Amino acid sequence: MPELPEVEVTRRLIAPSLEGSLIDEVEIRRERTARRNSGSAEVVDRLTGRTVERLGRKGKFIAADLDSGELLVIHLGMSGRLQLADRIEEEAPHTNAVLRISGGGEVRFVDPRTFGFIGVFEEIPSLLGPDALDALPDSGGFQALLGRSRRAIKTVLLDQAVVAGLGNIYADEVLWRARVAPHRPSADLDSDAAERIRSAIRPVLEEGISQGGTSLGDLAYLLPDGRAGENLGRLAAYGREGLPCPRCGTPVIRSMIGQRSAHHCPACQL
DNA sequence: ACCTCCCTGGCC
DNA sequence: GGCCAGGGAGGT
């Protein structure tokens, strides 16, 4: 499921086609895809004829500056992906929106579970903390963030208003690398544990990016050119229930934290 | 700060 | 045929 690494890989791969390009036609095939605006007509209206200036990202949101001064915002939800294609190529099922670019190419928004959206806004329509990759606070600032909450540390890492970009896979991986158990209350962590978490975030995300993101088996996240990301084999904890911890060999266990699955090593994550 | 909901394909 | 996956918003 698209988290920061998958969104960043997607952004990098579609940027050459979109930056500086004119969006000359927009089709929203599924009304739900435009739900964050008043509807598809508004999105089509505010997007058609606009030029994309810079294609950025904050957390899991792709945000493109338009020549109108507005922002094109794309969120992949849990099953969304962007696909670069020629107009003659056959469309994948669940192609919920298409942005046609002057010159003949198009960006397709494929999203089977429809948790993603495309919209045009003044600002990103969500409260986001600092980006986990680009703007992680220093040690003191990070400790202060964690000290403010008594929720489980995993829940805090998933809270986009605290740090933007981590989802269920990479939160588990960060905590595994930091040797911290996911259910521990955030505010109970000592400064050493907080710093291990902080310093695990960047390498875990960068590893994911360098592998092209994590494609799972089912409704796979795929790169814009159709390839699968190869980070799955690098995961130490997520999805590895019953398999040996790569660090100590103890079987990884799966539990539920805040209605979400969590995977960790009961022996070396404390 | 917690719980429920949205939605669909894949799997048991 | 029913359950599960899960990002984020809304309600309590």
Superfamily of domain A4-121: MutM-like, N-terminal (3.20.190.10)
pLDDT in tens, A22-69: 999 999 999 999 999 999 999 999 999 999 999 999 999 999 999 999
CA distance A8 to A201: 15
Q: Is the CB of A256 under 7 A from strand B?
A: no
Q: What is the mean pLDDT of residues A197-221?
A: 89
CA distance A204 to A207: 5
Four-CA torsion A222, A11, A23, A45, nearest 10 degrees: 90
Q: Is the CB of A259 under 7 A from strand B?
A: yes
Do the Cβ atoms of A43 and A118 come closer than 8 Å?
yes
- Where are chain A's structural domains? 4-121, 139-264
Q: What is the mean pLDDT of residues A104-108?
A: 94
CA distance A213 to A231: 6
Residue A1 has pLDDT above 80, yes or no: no
Q: Which residues contact A257 (CB under 8 A, 6 or more apart)?
A: A152, A154, A155, A182, A183
Q: Is the CB of A218 under 7 A from strand B?
A: yes
Q: What is the pTM of this model?
A: 0.96
Rg (CA), chain A: 19
Do the Cβ atoms of A162 and A154 come closer than 8 Å?
no
Query: Any idea which nucleotide's C1' is nearest the CA of A2?
Result: C7
What class has domain A139-264?
mainly alpha
Quote the tokens at residue A189.
């962590």
Quick one: pLDDT at residue A221?
Answer: 85
Bridge-based pairing of strands A260-264 and A253-257 is: antiparallel
Exposure of A29 in the CB half-sphere (CA atoms within 13 A): 15
